[in-house]
Amino acid sequence: LAKTTQPISMDSYEGQEVNITCSHNNIATNDYITWYQQFPSQGPRFIIQGYKTKVTNEVASLFIPADRKSSTLSLPRVSLSDTAVYYCLVGSTDSWGKLQFGAGTQVVVTP
Amino acid sequence: NAGVTQTPKFRVLKTGQSMTLLCAQDMNHEYMYWYRQDPGMGLRLIHYSVGEGTTAKGEVPDGYNVSRLKKQNFLLGLESAAPSQTSVYFCASRKHGDDQPQHFGDGTRLSIL
């Protein structure tokens, strides 16, 4: 399983765009990049997943450069309810779906 | 649609006691996982199962046992609880397929005195 590195914490104000960059230098050819969000006292919740280029859904965008050694989660116009820990994970298609969680990025949104 | 349900939500045990945590999913997922999360850390995989009747060790399996007798249930057992097993335990399930995400329950908070 590829190791990921992401910032420990980020602060933002309501209405701003938050970009969290994750590095995964040892990503394998068949690996997907997945981001989860976790609120206190809850389990992680799937946000977005991608393999290459850009993926967008109703809550976030995921940018993956051509070399795939990093990825950036973009949260547009954050609100107070986006305060959470965000995890970047790289999943191997050969690993039965196993994920290796790091410490994640604590995002704090203030008014 | 309940998703992934964990039972109980909270429990306090004494050292040496045993207990079983239950995870139930109603999404007909093939894969199921048990994690533990300690303060300030990410989740660590304890055991996982890729189908009914099959289990495998994860990153931190010592002191735990699991069983998957039915597809929808994944049980995590502590035979002789130790204070080091005080943690929040999360169960997850996932559909078969390379790009399928894991769906998590809301955790069981376990304290061992």
Q: pLDDT tens string for chain A (111 positions)?
A: 678 899 999 999 999 999 999 999 988 888 889 999 999 889 999 999 999 889 999 999 999 999 999 999 999 999 999 999 999 988 765 567 777 788 899 999 999
Distances (CA, A) of A103 to A12, A16, A77, B41, B97: 19, 24, 24, 5, 26
Pick B42's closest partner by Cβ from A32, A49, A87.
A87
pLDDT attached to residue B3:
93
Are A82 and A75 in contact, with CB atoms under 8 Å apart? yes
Please check the confidence at residue B80 and state whether its pLDDT lies above 70.
Answer: yes
Query: Which pair of tokens denotes residue A9?
Result: 């914490």
Task: Name the amino acid, one letter, at B102.
Answer: Q
CA angle at residue B45 from B44 to B50, to 5 degrees? 160
Higher pLDDT, B80 or B2: B80
Spatial separation of the C-alpha atoms in residues B83 and B113, rounded to whole Å: 6
CB contact B106 to A (< 8 Å):
yes
CB contact B95 to A (< 8 Å):
no
